[in-house]
Amino acid sequence: MRTLALALGLLLVLFGLTSAAGLGPVVVNREGEQRIAFLLGDPVAVITQPGVSLTWPFVSTDVFDGRWQHLSSEPREISTLDQERIVIDHYVVWRIVDPLQFRRTFPSGLLDAQKQIDQQARGQLREVVGQKRLMQVLKTERQAIVDEIVRRAGAAVERFGVEIGDVRLNRTELPHGTEENVYARMRAERDRLARKYRAEGEEQARTIRAEADRAARVLVAEARRDGEMERGKGDAEAARIYAEAYSRDPDFYAFQRGLEAYRKTLGKRTTLVLPPDHEFFRLFQSGGKLPDDGRVARPKGP
């Protein structure tokens, strides 16, 4: 019994000493940590879950951060499909998902891993942006470009035991030397579009005016035709009425026509030099009565 108690005591002391030195079989893993347990230099366990884990005695552990990490990049010039050079800087959100593979790939530590991740993300960004035009990068397809970079960069670093969560473009601008040239080309393009739209508008205006003029001529011609038809009908009806009235009382009609001739001929400041027995004065000579023959003098032309 004494021997057993002594052995247990020695084991407890040894357990305490190895645990205090980080070489014990009990490993406490905190939230966000990932550990690799090594026995005589060889990995024997990978611990990714938080809590207490049991391993072999006399093991050592390497700790890796399993949380999302932020990696910023320096601005670099990239050429687009239309040969425009733009300055882009970006950042990468990444984390370690396979600590054992990560350690094998980057035995020297985190700095080499960051350089390699940045290089892979930058290469994919350069390739994707190089297949797009300037306005697509700046405005029309920006989100699609970012999504494509994330997909490609994630596939490129998967062999490192790393996962990429996001790649974002912090700044996208033109280099100082080419900014004015790009603005001049943009203004020229806007002027070209303005001339094009203006010419199309003028052509449509001419077409509309020609169509309106044609329709107006048709309407005027139809109105004149209808007016002539109505005027002819009116003249015919007037002639019929005149003929009917003349046939009812020819003497009165002749008398009225004579008075009308006097009214039109004898106005103010009118002087006629005619012989007294001229037939133009027959109504005056007869005292307003019609002659026996029923003729009434009508004025002759000057």
Query: What number is the average pLDDT over the span 61-73?
Result: 83
Percent of the chain with pLDDT over 70: 72
- Cα separation, 117 vs 92, in Å, equals 8
d(CA 211, CA 213): 5
Q: Find the helix packing angle between 250-265 and 179-248, rounded to 10°.
A: 130
pLDDT at 248 over 70: yes
pLDDT of residue 212: 94
Q: If you ran DSSP here, which 8-state letter would residue 198 be given?
A: H
Q: What is the reported pLDDT for 6? A: 57
Report the side by side order of strands in the sheet with 42-47.
42-47, 33-39, 60-65
- Place 281 in a pLDDT band, splitting at 50, 70 and 90: low
CA distance between the termini of the chain: 171
Q: Is the pLDDT of residue 131 over 80?
A: yes
pLDDT at 292 over 80: no
Q: What are phi and psi of 264, to 5 degrees?
A: -75, -30
Quick check: helix, strand or coil at residue 98? coil
pLDDT at 80: 86
Indicate the pLDDT class of residue 253, thresholds 50, 70 and 90: confident
| pLDDT beyond 50 at 12 | no
Q: Cβ of 67: how many Cβ atoms within 10 Å?
A: 10
Q: How confident is the model at residue 301 (pLDDT cuts 50, 70, 90)?
A: very low
Mean pLDDT, rounded, for 12-16 = 46
Per-residue model confidence (pLDDT) at position 296: 45
Q: How confident is the model at residue 283 (pLDDT cuts 50, 70, 90)?
A: low
Q: What pLDDT digit, counting tens, does each position of 178-228 carry?
A: 667 767 777 888 999 999 999 999 999 999 999 999 999 999 999 999 999
In the prediction, which pLDDT does 16 show?
Answer: 47
Q: Residue 20: is its pLDDT beyond 50?
A: no
Q: Quick one: pLDDT at residue 294?
A: 47
Q: What does the pLDDT read at residue 197? A: 93
pLDDT at 144 over 70: yes
pLDDT confidence of 29, banded at 50, 70, 90?
A: low
Q: Determine the length of the chain.
A: 302
Residue 52 has pLDDT above 80, yes or no: no
State the pLDDT at residue 37: 72
Specify the pLDDT at position 18.
Answer: 44
User: Is 40:18 a contact under the CB 8 Å cutoff?
Assistant: no
Tell me the residue type at 261.
A
pLDDT at 35: 78
The answer for residues whose C-beta is within 8 angstroms of residue 102's C-beta and 6 or more apart is 64, 96, 113, 160, 161, 162
Select the highest-mean-pLDDT range: 31-35, 227-231, 244-248, 267-271: 227-231
Q: Rounded to whole angstroms, how far apart are CA atoms 124 and 253? A: 111
User: pLDDT tens digits, residue range 83-121?
Assistant: 878 888 889 999 888 888 888 888 888 899 999 999 999
* Separation of alpha carbons 282 and 255, rounded Å: 11
